Structure 1
Amino acid sequence: MTITTSPPTLDIDPFSDEVLVDPYGFHEQLREAGPVARLSAHDAYAIGRYEQVRNALRDHDAFVSGRGVGLDDFAQEKPWRTPSLLLETDPPKHSTYRAAMGSIVNPRTVRALRTAFTGPAEKLADELVERGRFDAVTDLAEAFPLTVFPQAVGIRPGGHEHLLAYGSIAFNAVGPRNHLLEAALAAAPPTMAWIDDSCARDALDPAGFGAAVWSAADRGDIPVQDAPLLVRSFLSAGIDTTVHALGNTMHALAVHPEAWAAVHAEPGRVRFAFDEALRWEAPVQTFCRTTVTDVEIDGSVIPADAKVLLSYGAANRDPRRWGPTAHRFELDRSSGGHLAFGMGIHQCVGQPIARLEAELILGALARRAARIELDGDPVPKLNNALLGWSSLPVRVVSA
């Protein structure tokens, strides 16, 4: 017979500035507290061990997304924002949208992007190595996705800076209504107007992913009124997460010169560096689910109608899964199975595009730069759901 208990309580706020800047102490406390812990600061529960986070992500019947992937419970209060059609729906509705997106983002269409993305990657790498010193966030991690991804979606030229502001709104909404979300919302009106205009049928390039969404609506694959919202899903998930992932990978390589030497010698290894950086500094730190019934996890019970924070960041450094060196960046580690892109039916649909972008820009830089190192103190970027840098000054030495 299984003996069940109430989870222990942690008196720590995972959305405090201190934890958002350096979450790893909180992660260790969460993992060591048990398979589940209660967070007194938000009347919510949290899971930080790899196996239990992975299992919860796979169990979309008990841990639903349709009640919001943030702290707000859409069943208890009317959403103040438009829910994401991909992240915040459950089957069978979610299956409809996922199938439509799968017909648009697939191996064939991603292969077609390689040619379009390669030229800009090579050009940018040339410019950065020639300069010698640059900011790996603003000049690379932001610059490259903002150059190639809007074109893939079919967004018209101009105004692409709104994409970063939109990502700030979307991901800060995962947390409480703190100063980060308030600041994002204060700057929201012009950004949201630009987003709405950019997702309209007539505003999109007929050759892009956005137009393909509208074609899916014309075929009856999705409701016509949902087409602009599904196009919007590209813009919320396709920029900020990739920006943070690229910035975190550059940080990992800059502070591990032996790893940069290895990818310079074999640029194809940037794919492994990217995966290990995704594990080591997961760009998406947490999303929430809501229980629809009492859920027992290894003897701890989460009650029905509870918000549950699934800590991807804690799971990705769990020694139970990754061994005693889980806290280290190791290029030769087998990082497969990390949760940076999620797991289960809500696993990131755009991850092959992010991987392609990383392969091209990091590979181009690795071929040209023999060494890379920090050229100043990195500046953290606070966000309720994302971990990354607002500035990462580096210096490179040409090969």
Structure 2
Amino acid sequence: MTTLETPRPVNDGDPFSHAVLENPLPLHAELRDAGPVVHLPRYDVYAVARHEQVHAALTDWQRFQSAAGVGLANFRTEKPWRSPSLLLEADPPRHDAPRRVLSKVLGPRALRRLRERWTADAEELVDQVLDGGPRFDAATALAHVFPLRVFPDAVGLPPAGRENLLPYGDHAFNAFGPHNDLVARGAPRVPELLDWVGGQCRREVLAPHGFGADIWAASDRGDITPEQAPLIVRSLLTAGVDTTVHALSAVLYAFATHPDQWRRLRDNPSLARVAFDEAVRWESPVQTFFRTTTTAVRVGDVRIPEGRKVLMFLAAANRDPRRWENPDAFDLSRDPSGHVGFGMGLHQCVGQHVARLEAEALLTALARRVETIDLDGTPKRHHNNTLRAWESLPVKVRDFGSGRSS
């Protein structure tokens, strides 16, 4: 006798189409309104878009596993395009030792050592940009530059070749989606980029002091194996640049379109970290991730069978009116803690405090010199299957230091 499943809401939208990548908000609202879980027949996956269900899936690694891949590809049946991440694409017990090591490497002591240097680097960069005039592209001059200026140094990468980090990360996050034109765009460079990134993870290439060296030292102590060390360094290079670049773009866009909130930050620079987290909630640089069910799971009245892909809409959860009051507003008076922009639970982003420190340094340096910041033209999106990104963010500013403005 066949047991019929409860009828499930269906949405025919394509979350990876260029139209949705340009403006995902209407689809996100449709998915939230349709129910706790929705079937997407275009890819034959289930989707959760409300905060309650997204949070639950993120924290239930036993039933919603990452080891089968956090993209559309199912590692149970498909070969990954590169060896899986020991953090993002692994579950306990395989996930545990790498996570412990990286959490310690990126811990408070390391960040205290970096704070003074990154603050000075941010002030130097802001001075350089503003000395060039009141009009500039905040994405390419600030958000794209600062993480590439400070983070590879902290990892211990040599200077040559760092321009490969952004295209490598762009392809890695595109590859979490379907094999569409965005994946095809990056495919020709994949062998070259994989070879370069793999080379940077070797002990002899990394500086003797830095995150990379600390990871290799953990292998010397036996906390991880020598085979795991380069894969953990690779995780830093994959997840530690593009996501921060686009999060910084998000907060700069938020301030350029919310002058009242910029005044609040300028009057109280200690709000820099709150501003960054609110921008991560509001824009969600990481829009989606997948999980795979390890058993049949009931979400609401719908039964998701074992072995099925579940697409978690982090961005939709971060604007769910069931969780947030006036969710479409960028508001520094809000407590944004509880957003899922960095994930949640066991696989929550281990480098989120590094990103916050970068944002704090850059925003504080800007607040020191910039009285007003406004859009100076139409911003242009960069489409990626997973990331919400800006390619161009033209702004004009009034500079305290010179009094110059448009």
* TM-score, structure 2 as length reference: 0.96
Amino acid at match of 1:79: P
Quick one: which of 231, 234, 237 aligns to 1:232?
A: 234
- Give the superposition deviation at 1:4: 7.1
Give the corresponding residue for 1:173: 175
Partner of 2:109: 108
Name the residue aligned to 1:220: 222
What per-residue deviation string (whole Å, max 9, x for no partner) do you get for residues 205-237 of structure 1? Answer: 010100111111112211211211110000011
Equivalent residue runs for 1:253-268 within 5 Å: 253-268=255-270
RMSD (CA atoms): 1.2
Residue type at the aligned position of 1:166:
Y
What is aligned with 2:282?
Answer: 280
Counterparts of 2:97 and 2:5, CA distance in 1: 38
* TM-score, normalised via structure 1 length: 0.97
Aligned to 2:21: 20
SS of 1:68's equivalent in the other structure is coil
Secondary structure at 2:90's aligned position in 1?
A: coil
**How far, CA to CA, are the matches of 1:79 and 1:156 in structure 2?**
28
Query: Are the equivalent residues in 2 in contact too, given 1:284–1:387 (CA < 8 A)?
Result: yes
Corresponding residue for residue 96 of structure 1: 97
Asked if the contact 1:4–1:299 (Cα under 8 Å) also holds between the matched residues in 2, the reply is no
Q: How many Å apart are 1:81 and its aligned residue?
A: 2.1
Find 2:319's aligned residue among 317, 320, 331. 317
**Residue matched to 1:37:** 38
Q: What amino acid is the match of 1:8?
A: P
**Does structure 2 conserve the Cα–Cα contact (< 8 Å) formed by 1:290 and 1:308?**
yes
- The answer to whether the 8 Å contact 1:57/1:344 transfers is yes
Aligned position for 2:404: none
SS in 2 for 1:187: helix
Mark the runs of 5 or more structure 2 residues left unpaired by the alignment.
401-406
Partners in 1 of 2:253 and 2:141 — Cα distance? 14
Equivalent position of 1:393 in the other structure: 394
1:22, 1:4 → 2: CA distance?
33
1:163-199 Cα shifts (integer Å, max 9, x gaps):
1011111100110011101111222233222211111
What does 1:65-76 correspond to in 2, within 5 Å?
Answer: 65-76=66-77
1:7: Cα distance to partner?
A: 2.2
Where does structure 1 lack aligned partners over 5 or more consecutive residues? none
1:290 aligns with 2:311: no
- Aligned match of 1:363: 364
Contact 1:4 1:296 (C-alpha < 8 Å) held by counterparts:
no
Aligned to 1:322, what secondary structure does the other structure show? coil
CA distance in 1, matches of 2:191, 2:365: 38
Q: Which stretches of structure 1, 4 residues or more, deviate above 3 A after TM superposition?
A: none
In 2, the alpha carbon distance for the partners of 1:286 and 1:361 equals 26
**Amino acid of the structure 2 residue aligned with 1:268:** S
Secondary structure at the counterpart of residue 322 of structure 2: helix
Shift of 1:251: 0.3
Query: How many residues in Structure 1 have an aligned counterpart in Structure 2?
Result: 396
Q: Offset at 1:80?
A: 2.7
Map Cα deviations across residues 329-380 of structure 1 (whole Å, 9 max, x no partner): 1121111110110000000000000000000001110111000001111000
SS at match of 1:380: strand
Whole-angstrom distance in 1 between the partners of 2:186 and 2:80:
17
State whether residues 63 and 289 of structure 1, in contact with CA within 8 Å, keep that contact through their aligned partners in structure 2: yes
Partner of 1:134 in structure 2?
Answer: 136
In structure 2, what is the Cα distance between the partners aligned to 1:16 and 1:160?
30
Q: How far off its partner does 1:83 sit? A: 1.0
**Structure 1 residues 257-316: Cα deviation after superposition (integer angstroms, max 9, x where no partner):** 111111112222222211111110000000000001110112221111100001100000
Matched residues, percent identical? 52
Letter of the 1:158 counterpart: A
Cα deviation, residue 78, structure 1: 2.2
Question: Tell me, what secondary structure is at the counterpart of 1:9?
Answer: coil
